[in-house]
Amino acid sequence: MAHIFRVGELTRAVKEVLEAEFPLVFVRGQVSNLSRPSSGHIYFTLKDPEAALAAVWFRGAHGGAATEAGERYNPVTGEVLEPEAAARLTDGMEVLCAGRLTVYPPRGVYQLVVEMVEELGAGRLHQEFEALKRELAGLGYFDASRKRPLPPHPGRVAVVTAATSAALRDFIRIGRERGFGCQVRIHDTPVQGEAAPGRIAAALADIGRQGWAQAVALIRGGGSIEDLWAFNTRAVADAVFACPVPVLTGVGHEVDTTIADMVADVRAATPSHAAQTLWPERRVYVQRVDDLESAAVAAAGRLLAGLEARLAHLSRGLSWLSPVQRLERAALALSALDGRLTRAGEALAGDAGRRLEGLRDRLARTVGPGGGLDAAFARDRAARLSQRLEAAMGRIVLERERALREAELRLAGLDPMAPLARGYSLTTLVRTGRFLRRARDAAKGDKIAVMVYEGTIRAEVTEAAEDAASVTSAREPEHGGGRR
């Protein structure tokens, strides 16, 4: 019976055979999937068009072997090595590696344990990438002036990717938690392989012809430069450039930058970041609503304060211009004049009385015992003085009465109700609350209030004309002479 191997036993056997058969090999290839963890070791893959080989370059071997003087040298050729060789190693670089083949048991894969790396120049894919990049830059594919912004809240988004990909699941999951809600159409296309560039370009062209989408999301998960190569082709670059809808790309990881990213209107670091770029978080909208509410309350407060101040100002003006107030002020002025007239008459009468008493005393002294004048002459003089006094008092009273009548006439002229008693009226435009002075201030259908001497008439304007004839024809004498 044939021997049955355990997995570990068979792996160790293969490892021993492989290490014995290939103790030192030289391998030429292109670096991809380069990784530099915190341990200091370097992991990468050597590739060519036919195959791929995993490689590990341990930190202790980065400088080669050491001489007694401390210099690092190539153990195969004896050349002194540059200490920066490991730091310069990048994806896309064409290198020559020397090392030994072994098997890594936990994964069951064979790998090259690198002892020396010599740079041979840029790899083929890297050269093709740079050549296409220069060509498209010269054609203006990367110009910022031609790139369009995404709509702020797209409600219809076309997604170009593989329908079963993890990138699409992440995009949909994050999109459901953001924005106002959106319709998504998935255009299922391969995102790597020979058929991928043509299918991606065809999907973008279909989206442009349909005219349904407001934005296009071209997404794919991470991978090596070979896995992402479909997005570095001229066909995809032309399709993104020609798409009439703004294109958002989210290809690979944050460090990956493809030609499609450079041509796209907006680039996201990953498919998840693409969803975050299209739709803001809902709590941002809640916060914005709160801010708008606070601003609206503050604005309403300012508006009400302004209206209250204006109302107070208009109330003061109305109280000053009110007919009742004007009558009250005129009555007060008349009362003050009447008081002044009474006081002046009383003062004048008092002065005249005192003068008369003085004259009587003088007369008495004159005609009394021992007086030097004739009594008849004294009586005559007293009579004349009395007549003059009465005449002066009469003139003063007449002047005061005339002044009082003039004040009454002026007061009557200020009475706003007096013209109304003669058939005039005051018309107020209801929608403004102001007196109507010109016909052009009123429009057909406006409500008006016509104040007559006794009462108010409510009316509606049917016609307003500027000429005097039209205005006169609009009078309604039975309503107090108001205008319509």
99 vs 72, higher pLDDT: 99
pLDDT in tens, 38-72: 888 999 999 988 889 999 999 888 876 555 555 55
Q: Calculate what percentage of the chain has a pLDDT beyond 90.
A: 32
What is the mean pLDDT of the segment spanning 165-185?
89
222 vs 311, higher pLDDT: 311
Residues 265 and 248: beta-carbon distance below 8 Å: yes
Q: Which of 452, 449, 468, 450 is nearest to 419 (CA)?
A: 452
Q: What pLDDT is attached to residue 102? A: 92
What is the mean pLDDT of the segment spanning 210-218?
95
Domain finish residue from 122, 155, 177: 122
What is the mean pLDDT of the segment spanning 396-411?
84
Given a cut of 50, is residue 32 above it in pLDDT?
yes
Taking the C-alpha atoms of 402, 406, 411 and 412 in order, what is their torsion angle to the nearest 10 degrees? Answer: 100
DSSP 118: E
Q: Say how far apart CA 483 and CA 473 lie, in whole Å.
A: 9
Q: What pLDDT is attached to residue 1? A: 59
Q: Calculate what percentage of the chain has a pLDDT beyond 70.
A: 87
Residue 307 falls inside a structural domain: no
Residue 290 falls inside a structural domain: no
Same domain for 132 and 104: no
Q: Say how far apart CA 34 and CA 89 lie, in whole Å.
A: 8
Q: What pLDDT is attached to residue 119? A: 78
Residue 454 falls inside a structural domain: yes
Q: Say how far apart CA 278 and CA 74 lie, in whole Å.
A: 53
Residue 316 falls inside a structural domain: no
Same domain for 272 and 132: yes
Contacts of 461 by beta carbon, 8 Å cutoff, 6+ apart: 442, 443, 444, 445, 446, 447, 448, 484
Domain finish residue from 90, 106, 122: 122
- List the beta bridge partners of residue 160: 187, 218
Given a cut of 70, is residue 463 above it in pLDDT?
yes
Largest CA distance in the chain: 191
| Confidence (pTM) | 0.44
Same domain for 405 and 441: no
What is the mean pLDDT of the segment spanning 317-329?
74
Q: What is the DSSP string of 377-408?
A: HHHHHHHHHHHHHHHHHHHHHHHHHHHHHHHH
Q: What pLDDT is attached to residue 483? A: 39
What is the mean pLDDT of the segment spanning 341-356?
85
Residue 268 maps to which CATH number?
3.40.50.261
Query: Is 173 strand, coil or helix?
Result: helix
Half-sphere exposure of 478 (CA within 13 A, CB side): 1
Residue 305 falls inside a structural domain: no
pLDDT in tens, 258-309: 999 999 999 998 899 999 899 888 777 777 788 888 889 899 999 999 999 9
The mean pLDDT of the chain is 83
Same domain for 445 and 400: no
Measured from the Cβ of residue 268, the count of other Cβ atoms closer than 10 Å reads 23
Given a cut of 50, is residue 229 above it in pLDDT?
yes
Long-range contacts of 344-350 (CB under 8 A, 24+ apart): 344/400, 345/396, 345/397, 345/400, 348/393, 348/396, 349/393
Same domain for 61 and 77: yes
Residues 119 and 85: beta-carbon distance below 8 Å: yes
Q: What pLDDT is attached to residue 121? A: 58
Q: Say how far apart CA 283 and CA 77 lie, in whole Å.
A: 64
Q: At 243, phi and psi to the nearest 5? A: -65, 125
Domain finish residue from 219, 248, 280: 280
Range of the domain at 379: 323-415
Same domain for 439 and 391: no
Tokens linked to 299: 């604005």
262 vs 119, higher pLDDT: 262
Contacts of 415 by beta carbon, 8 Å cutoff, 6+ apart: 323, 327, 330
Q: Tell me which amino acid residue 312 is.
A: A
Same domain for 132 and 55: no
Given a cut of 50, is residue 479 above it in pLDDT?
no
